[in-house]
Amino acid sequence: MSRLTLSILLLFLLILATNYNWWQDSEQPQVNKQREDVWQPNYQARNMQTNLFNEEGVLTHSIHAAVMEHYEALGFTLFQQPQYSVFVQADEPPWEITAQEGTLYEDNRIQLETNVEIRSLSEDGVWQTINTSFIEIDLNNKTMHSDQPVTILGVNYTIRGNGFSADMNSKQFELLDHVETIYGKDN
Amino acid sequence: INQDFNEPIRVASKFQSGDGINKVSIFREDVKITQGSLSIEASEVEVNAEQGKGREIFIARGNPAEYQQTMADGSRIRALANHIEYQVEKRTLTLSGNAELHQNSSSVSGDKIEFNMEKEQLVAQGSDDGDGRVETIFQPEPKKKPVQEK
**Residue ranges per domain, chain A?**
1-40, 43-183
pLDDT band for position A120 (cuts 50, 70, 90):
confident
Among A25-39, A84-98, B44-58, B102-116, the range scoring the smallest mean pLDDT is: A25-39
Q: Report the alpha-carbon distance of residue A143 to residue A167 in Å, rounded.
A: 4
% of chain A residues with pLDDT over 70: 85
CA of A146 to nearest chain B CA: how many angstroms apart? 15
Q: Report the alpha-carbon distance of residue A73 to residue B70 in Å, rounded.
A: 66
Residue A148 scores a pLDDT above 50: yes
Q: Kindly report the CA angle at A117 between A113 and A119, in degrees rounded to 5?
A: 145
Q: What's the mean pLDDT in A145-157?
A: 92
Question: What residues of B are in contact with residue A176 (Cβ under 8 Å)?
Answer: 15
pLDDT of B1 reads 61
CB pairs under 8 A between A and B: 73
Residues 122-151 of A with CB under 8 A from B: 125-127
Residue A45 scores a pLDDT above 90: no
The pTM of the full predicted model, rounded to 2 decimals, is: 0.76
Contact B19 A127 (CB under 8 A): no
For the domain made up of A43-183, the CATH class stated in words is mainly beta
Question: What residues of A are in contact with residue B52 (Cβ under 8 Å)?
Answer: 155-156
Question: What residues of B are in contact with residue A180 (Cβ under 8 Å)?
Answer: 10-12
pLDDT of A159 reads 94
Q: Which of B15, B21, B49 sits opposite A176 (nearest CB)?
A: B15
Nearest chain B Cα to A175, which residue?
B16
Alpha-carbon Rg for chain B in angstroms: 15
pLDDT band for position A6 (cuts 50, 70, 90):
confident
**Residue A2 per-residue DSSP state:** -
CA of A171 to nearest chain B CA: how many angstroms apart? 5
Strands A109-120, A95-98: pairing is: antiparallel
pLDDT band for position A67 (cuts 50, 70, 90):
very high
Q: Which of A66, A69, A64 is nearest to A43 (CA)?
A: A69
Spell out the per-residue pLDDT of chain B, length 150, in tens. 678 888 999 999 999 999 888 889 999 999 999 999 999 999 999 999 988 888 999 999 999 999 999 988 889 999 999 999 999 999 999 999 999 999 888 888 888 999 988 888 887 676 555 555 555 555 445 555 555 544
pLDDT band for position A33 (cuts 50, 70, 90):
low
Residue A100 scores a pLDDT above 90: yes
Interface of chain B toward chain A, CB-CB under 8 angstroms: 7-21, 23, 25, 27, 35, 47, 49, 52-54, 56, 88
